[in-house]
Structure 1
């Protein structure tokens, strides 16, 4: 079980990202929903991580059906409270690597299963690459370690001083020789 080393907040952030991906109808968990989960849960105390979830959602191009459903008189948050009791509890979710396909990592939970994209898998692998618990700071490190995944662009577009966050979170900026 890959979640065994995850701190409670980091696990909650990954689960929140998975729920956002499922709600958006995405076929896999990618870095946008993962970053949104991190912005919502905030499993760290980083003064310079100023990203508002609404900004991350917009820059990650994740739809929010709440406004549309509200025009029909439907409160999506109320629907979720009534139909998803306990579904967001991180203890009910697991993150597993396939034994037959080791590059396939899947998030399993009461709302469904969701494979991680290559970029999201790399986030988890970077975060878990050092001994000790996987924290929110380590997930952030994983998001920022891969310049191709768009996380840095989304954070900058959300008004975050990424350099200040990297310093504050003590994220390594180069490999040791």
Structure 2
């Protein structure tokens, strides 16, 4: 499937891995793909999202907030997140909770190299292909990634956009993408 991706779409997928690592995540989910698309500023997908008022920095903050442990919820269970952090750093060194480890054959190793996609991220990539085929395009661009990210039910990417005040349905998003493609032609 990736052979059909345009250079900006490939760059968006690569950037999603960078974004996941930057946030200390051990998997790439659809919100990281959203950040990857936004990072390709010249791409149709990023232009449509920018027109909707979505910026990369605000989206990064929203993704980080969605993935962060809810200190209030933990507090209700009697867990003081700051105290946990202090004790972990006292026992294992500064930044101990920022390290990510992967389980492999019964022991832990520091996670490097490839980061796996979550099911929702894989579904978004597959839906991007379906969107391209529906539009009779023989390529997958950032515009198809946006449609794939946001047309399939509830997604983390959708929650990020909702947090940022974006209120468009799949049909409106499709119209905006097609308008942008028309302007680009």
TM-score by length of structure 1 reads: 0.61
For residues 5 and 153 of structure 2, what CA distance do their matches in structure 1 show? 24
Establish whether residue 52 from structure 1 lines up as the match of residue 51 from structure 2. Answer: no
Establish whether residue 132 from structure 1 lines up as the match of residue 138 from structure 2. Answer: yes
Q: Contact 1:152/1:162 (CA < 8 Å) preserved in 2? A: no
Q: Which residue of 2 aligns with 1:17?
A: 16
Q: CA deviation at 1:124?
A: 0.6
Bigger share in helix: 2
Find the structure with the greater CA-based Rg.
2
- Tell me which of 61, 64, 67 is aligned to 2:64: 61
Which 4+ runs in 1 deviate beyond 3 A? Answer: 163-166
Q: Which residue of 1 aligns with 2:176?
A: 168
TM-score by length of structure 2 reads: 0.59
Q: Contact 2:17/2:32 (CA < 8 Å) preserved in 1? A: yes
- Tell me which of 149, 152, 177 is aligned to 1:143: 149
Q: Contact 2:34/2:157 (CA < 8 Å) preserved in 1? A: yes
Number of residue-to-residue matches in the alignment: 123
Q: Contact 2:147/2:173 (CA < 8 Å) preserved in 1? A: no
Q: Contact 1:17/1:37 (CA < 8 Å) preserved in 2? A: yes
For residues 165 and 148 of structure 1, what CA distance do their matches in structure 2 show? 15
Gaps of 5+ in 1: 64-110, 172-177
Q: Which residue of 2 aligns with 1:101?
A: none
Listed as ranges, the matches of 1:77-116 within 5 Å are 112-116=113-117
Q: CA deviation at 1:60?
A: 1.0
